[in-house]
Amino acid sequence: MARGLRVTALDQRVAIERVSRMPDGMGGTTESWAPISTVWAQVVPVRGAEKREAMRVSPDNRMKVRVRWRGDANGQPFCTPADRLVWRGRTYNIESAVPWGGRERFIEILISEGVS
């Protein structure tokens, strides 16, 4: 429930990163990730498991991250699934970013660990 979430619950620092592509001079591009914002967040574990694929075991961790609302010019959350999130030195894929808490008070970001 959004009314129960207080700003003081945002006790973790997370960075949202966005990719940029630059020409490499040989007809291709080079990808580079750079932080677009570092914000205070509440990180809530949703599920932790292991999955087997390609004859190896890999982690399948999912979490919800709640941050204060920041929107773009169209009223959408400032981050998208094209971005990624870094928390405690680990990189997570953003699966979704939606308004949460009524009146655009927070953004709830669903993240997962692993290669997208």
Per-residue pLDDT in tens (0 to 9) along the chain, 116 residues: 445 577 788 999 999 999 999 888 888 889 999 999 999 999 999 866 666 666 665 556 799 999 999 888 788 899 999 999 999 999 999 999 998 887 778 999 999 986 55
- The model carries a pTM of 0.79
Structure tokens at 101: 């808490």
Q: How many CB atoms sit inside 10 A of residue 97's CB?
A: 22
Buried b (16+ CB within 10 A) or exposed e, 54-81: eeeeeeebbbbbbbeeeeeeeeebbbee
